[in-house]
Amino acid sequence: MTLEILVSEDPNTRMFGEEEEEYFPSSESFSFMRKTKSSKNNKRRFSDEQIKSLESMFETETRVEPKKKIQLARELGLQPRQVAIWFQNKRARWKSKQLERDYAILRANYNSLASRYENLKKEKQGLVLQLQRLKKDAVQNPKGERQCCGKSEAAPSSNEGELENGDSNKCESQVKPISSMEISEHGLGVVLDDDISIKAEYFQLEDEPNLMGMVEPAGDSSLTSPEGWGSLESDGLFDQSSSGYQWWDFWS
């Protein structure tokens, strides 16, 4: 395996002040390299030891100070510029993976929320049916003599069954609105104590709720930037102020 090094011949290559000295790797891992002017092979993979050191340094600080950079470069037999570039690329890779993680968390949150919403919708339908039955029953029995539910009425649907906990003995509690039900003077309608609030809370919400407003921030610490991540924050990832699409379109 023949490797060649890594001296940029491009005069436009940006050179930082402290790094302009021509550099030849001295470590053993690069001892087989040689400088060539003609070769375009100016890119070599770093050795495992180099990567290991860089990784461990990256764990403590994602940005390397100039002095530290030069010291690290000396230790690893690299150019300071290479160390800087490695950190730069590493930050970019980390950010990309962090975006994937954040996306997965948000998707899981959304799925959970959508599931809860569907359940609530079914519950609402059951309650509406129950209300209709109660109203109908009240009209048929103006004196409040009401047959126990589940006996004189049609069999409840599965949803209703859930709502009634499958226990017909709980009619008392289930018909609580009935106990406080009043018949209007003309006997043409009923007024439920909680009717207004119920409507407000459930039945008038015909429009689908804005799930986005309900999404809870993930408790996972991966959504918050660790100290020093600085610009790797996820803020604004889903800023839609300037775009027309919705982020959940991806999996809807």
Residue ranges in contact with DNA by CB under 7 A: 1, 6, 8, 10, 12-14, 16-18, 40-46, 51, 63-64, 66, 81-82, 84-93, 95, 230-232
3-state secondary structure of 35: strand
Q: Min. distance of Cβ 107 from DNA in angstroms? A: 21
Helix (H) or strand (E) holding 75: helix 66-76
Q: How far is the CB of 56 from DNA (least distance, A)?
A: 15
Shortest Å distance, C-beta 51 to DNA: 6
CB atoms within 10 A of CB 207: 6
Query: Helix 66-76 and helix 48-60: axis angle, to 10°?
Result: 160
Nearest to DNA of 47, 157 (CB atom):
47
Identity of the residue, 46 or 110, whose beta carbon is nearer to DNA in the bound complex: 46
Q: For residue 75, what are its two tokens?
A: 């230790």
Pairwise CA distance, residues 112 & 107, whole Å: 9
The minimum distance between CB 77 and DNA, in angstroms, equals 12
Measured from the CB atom, is 45 or 186 closer to DNA?
A: 45
C-beta closer to DNA: residue 41 or 197: 41
Separation between Cα atoms, residue 68 and residue 164, nearest integer Å: 69
CA distance 71 to 87: 14
User: Which residue, 141 or 225, has its beta carbon nearer to DNA?
Assistant: 225
Q: How far is the CB of 68 from DNA (least distance, A)?
A: 10
